[in-house]
Amino acid sequence: MRDTSQHLLFNLQQFWAEGSLEKNNALVEYLKQYGVVRTDKVAEVMETIDRALFVPEGFTPYTDSPMPIGYNATISAPHMHATCLELLKDYLQPGMHALDVGSGSGYLTACFAMMVGPEGRAVGIEHIPELVVASTENVERSAAAALMKDGSLSFHVSDGRLGWPDAAPYDAIHVGAAAPEIPRPLLEQLKPGGRMVIPVGTYSQDLQVIDKSADGSTSVRNDASVRYVPLTSRSAQLQDS
Ligand code: SAH
Q: Rounded CA gap, 139 and 105, in Å?
A: 9
pLDDT band at 8 (very low <50, low <70, confident <90, very high): low
| Listed range (12-16, 23-27, 47-51) with the worst mean pLDDT | 12-16
Concerning whether 76 is annotated as a catalytic residue, the answer is yes
DSSP 48: H
- CB-CB contact of 179 with 146 (8 Å): no
What would the mean pLDDT of 161-165 be, rounded to a whole number?
98
So where are the chain's domains?
Answer: 4-240
Cβ contacts of 175 within 8 Å, gap of 6 or more: 101, 102, 160, 186, 196, 197, 198, 199, 231
What would the mean pLDDT of 187-212 be, rounded to a whole number?
97
User: Residue 201 above 80 pLDDT?
Assistant: yes
pLDDT band at 111 (very low <50, low <70, confident <90, very high): very high
Q: Where are the alpha helices (DSSP H) in the chain?
A: 2-17, 21-33, 40-48, 78-88, 107-116, 129-140, 145-149, 184-188, 234-239
* Residue nearest to ligand 1 atom 4, measured at CA: 104
Q: Rounded CA gap, 89 and 95, in Å?
A: 13
pLDDT of residue 25: 95
| Catalytic entry in 65, 76, 213, 235 | 76
Q: Quick one: which of 127, 100, 120 has its CA closest to 186?
A: 100
pLDDT of residue 21: 85
pLDDT of residue 17: 61
Task: Name the pTM for this structure.
Answer: 0.93
The Cβ of residue 148 has, within 10 Å, a number of other Cβ atoms equal to 22
User: Comparing 80 with 12, which gets the higher pLDDT?
Assistant: 80
Q: Output the average pLDDT for the chain.
A: 94
Please give the single-letter amino acid code of residue 68.
P
In this structure, the residues whose C-beta lies within 6 A of any atom of ligand 1 are 71, 73-76, 102-105, 107-108, 125-128, 131, 159-161, 176-177, 229, 231-232, 237
pLDDT of residue 18: 66
Q: Which CATH code for domain 4-240?
A: 3.40.50.150
- Residue whose CB lies within 8 A of the most ligand 1 atoms, among 87, 237, 240, for a mutation test: 237
What would the mean pLDDT of 43-51 be, rounded to a whole number?
97
Please give the single-letter amino acid code of residue 81.
H
User: Comparing 9 with 171, which gets the higher pLDDT?
Assistant: 171
Q: Rounded CA gap, 223 and 93, in Å?
A: 22
Q: What percent of the chain has pLDDT over 90?
A: 88
User: Residue 58 above 60 pLDDT?
Assistant: yes
Buried b (16+ CB within 10 A) or exposed e, 100-114: bbbbbbbbbbbbbbb
